[in-house]
Structure 1
């Protein structure tokens, strides 16, 4: 997929596998690549697209979180451009290898998946430049900000803000892709009770004119993020309410209505109940 310029020297390419976005942010020192696709093989095609764009040399990589579809191309970019700095939140960097090895195990269990060989063959390269809350990266005539707004999709989510053009790259804290019917990624490492508060921080970094690039799918606006924040907030509050009433986790999905399909929320409910304090739970109803 060709890179499309969505703002001055900010290009997004949307790749069919996982409907994942790779973003380039340019400055007079070169290009910053945000997320690197799901395998070494796939990332080599991204490198070709970057070179075809002709906007400059890559001088750094950012991973918005640790999941393989955003990190497994790190090695391909280093092979193409040398020992690039790879930036991520400290938790994401720590979890990149174990998260990637777990995914390789899942592909081992599904030998018929057409992408299995390339995923298993990828050497996992974690970030080596980390931060805890916020950091600014200098691209020469442009600075970009990496901010950890809190936990949500994972424990190591970051957003990248390009202030001079009012663009915010949200990673998988925001989901637009119709490959998932727009349902946020409530996986086995999500933090559903904290996610709404993290999105409040994201919203505080935006304006009514901000272009928000999700990890998957088309760019969206602030209103889209507000609506998704509210839906995730309903998920979080419903978990709290059910636990306070003594409804067991295994019964929660069928107990009430939810803003997303029940089959997409099993991990959210399980993780949410596990993250509640003892005082927030009542004994199960008889």
Structure 2
């Protein structure tokens, strides 16, 4: 159980201990938009119970900020509770979830001691059925909600949700507060700083930014994180230009985050280098 806290008029955020993930509700006269659905059907049933306890209305639509299972595996249970509501995501996020959802389930199948194993294995993956490539507006009657794909970063299919009438942006895992930004095997470390520049273009000095994980933040926090993510990208570019192999890169520079968390940032960064910036050896 988690409490939905109102961070702006008719925008509520609940923070769940598993992954410290945020689930957000945006209210309008047509009902509630649920942004991200948690990591399993069982976890999402808890979310549904918390939504009903809030008593602000019925869910009429779902948005997935990216494909990762801690944000999408609850889609099944939300539809079980509210019927065939549309599930909206960037087209790349839908493609990745369809392609890689079973990989996640297999990873849990191979982890018998994980306390969430059975819940994940009992979950049916529901792929978003309402997709877009660049931007989309969802109509909640008396409120328009804007979805923007800022570019590749945490994944290929990230989106951010802007509620312009109250100056709120739901950033998904483009921004993280309770841990350093997560560079996974599907990240785009060289593009991520530029994607955050787009996110910053949606913010004012008074914006409330809800990260994918952790407490709401402000524009200054996003600016700082953008600069740190930018330094990761710049280090990769500089090291590659000097011919430093990827295998030696983490020991060859000062990093803004724990180097143990940046293995995929370096590997993926070297993979994505512009052709003219590659120097041998890079292995």
- Say yes or no: does 1:257 pair with 2:254: yes
Q: How far has the Cα of 1:58 moved from its partner? A: 0.5
1:254 aligned counterpart, secondary structure? coil
Q: How far has the Cα of 1:98 moved from its partner? A: 2.5
Question: Matches of 1:147 and 1:173 in 2, distance apart?
Answer: 12
Moved over 6 A (4+): none
Give TM-score, length-normalised by structure 2: 0.98
1:236 to 222, 233, 236: 233
Q: How far has the Cα of 1:103 moved from its partner? A: 1.3
RMSD, aligned α-carbons: 0.8
Correspondence for 1:137: 138
Question: Matches of 2:109 and 2:275 in 1, distance apart?
Answer: 38
Correspondence for 1:5: 6
Question: Matches of 1:73 and 1:45 in 2, distance apart?
Answer: 10
Question: Matches of 2:243 and 2:150 in 1, distance apart?
Answer: 31
Q: How far has the Cα of 1:104 moved from its partner? A: 1.3
Correspondence for 2:216: 219
Question: Matches of 2:167 and 2:110 in 1, distance apart?
Answer: 43
Q: How far has the Cα of 1:54 moved from its partner? A: 0.5
**CA deviation digits over 1:137-167, x for unaligned, max 9?**
0000000000000000000000000000000
Matches within 5 A, 1:34-73: 34-73=35-74
Question: Matches of 1:188 and 1:102 in 2, distance apart?
Answer: 13
2:50 aligned counterpart, secondary structure? helix
1:105 aligned counterpart, secondary structure? helix
Give TM-score, length-normalised by structure 1: 0.97
**CA deviation digits over 1:22-59, x for unaligned, max 9?**
00000000000000000000000100000010000110
Question: Matches of 1:5 and 1:145 in 2, distance apart?
Answer: 19
2:251 aligned counterpart, secondary structure? helix
- Say yes or no: does 1:26 pair with 2:23: no
Query: Is the CA contact (8 Å cut-off) linking 1:153 and 1:195 kept in structure 2?
Result: yes
The answer for unaligned runs of 5 or more in structure 1 is: none
